[in-house]
Amino acid sequence: MLERLAAARGGVLGIVPRLVIEPDESWTPASELLREPSGLLTELVDKTAARWNAPRHVGAALFWKTYGYWHTMPLALGWALDGRVPLMRPAETYFKESEAGVTIGASGVSWASGAAAIRGALAESQQPLVTAISRLAKVGERILWGSTAEAFAHPLTHIVPADYMALLRELGPPVDGLIEPAPDGFFRRTCCLWITLPGVEPCGTCCVLRPPRRP
């Protein structure tokens, strides 16, 4: 599946097609993002902010939107395809900057089944980063988790159609309740902050595009 997706995207993919890598000097352990005093994480957030001429908190939200998407996609696709979820443990996860923003791989992958495995992966691999980014850039965790929720909904809408709302409900907090289905897709209930940049159009899933609710 990931091989076909990479080919369709001209090779621009933020996850290694077979997930497993042989780490070399081009790869950075994901654990370095949490190493105090957060020098690497600050560098990446500030680089994202500078790219878009954005305040740091917006750069932080956009960095996570990219990193969180590629980390979440294999979980979503595994759940949708056969229920087998690939788990990349924090100590075995690596990343590097790429055309996709970041590319993620792991020195080893284990497999588990069901939403409980995904909940564990979010708690183990994403929660510490979400907390660190929120503290670093003063951006709300709910905004960041909204990007993770979208990272479940998007591939299950555009790549392997599946009931992403059922998955989000089964996962529960902090991702449940952050996506609202629509006739042609879905809307977020939080903003990724892209729309705060000057001269940009809102994302197609942006909460500002949600039609007003009828009383």
Where are the domains positioned within the chain?
13-209
pLDDT value at position 160?
A: 94
CA angle 168, 108, 97 (to 5 degrees): 75
pLDDT value at position 183?
A: 87
Residue that the structure tokens 């965790």 belong to: 141
- 130-146 pLDDT tens trace: 999 999 999 999 999 99
- For domain 13-209, the question of CATH label 2.60.40 is answered with no
* Blockwise average pLDDT, block size 10, the chain, 215 residues: 64 86 96 94 97 96 97 96 95 95 96 96 98 97 98 95 97 97 92 93 87 64
Between strands 101-106 and 93-98, the pairing is: antiparallel
pLDDT value at position 184?
A: 86
**Tokens for 128?**
């510490």
> Strand, helix or coil at 3?
helix
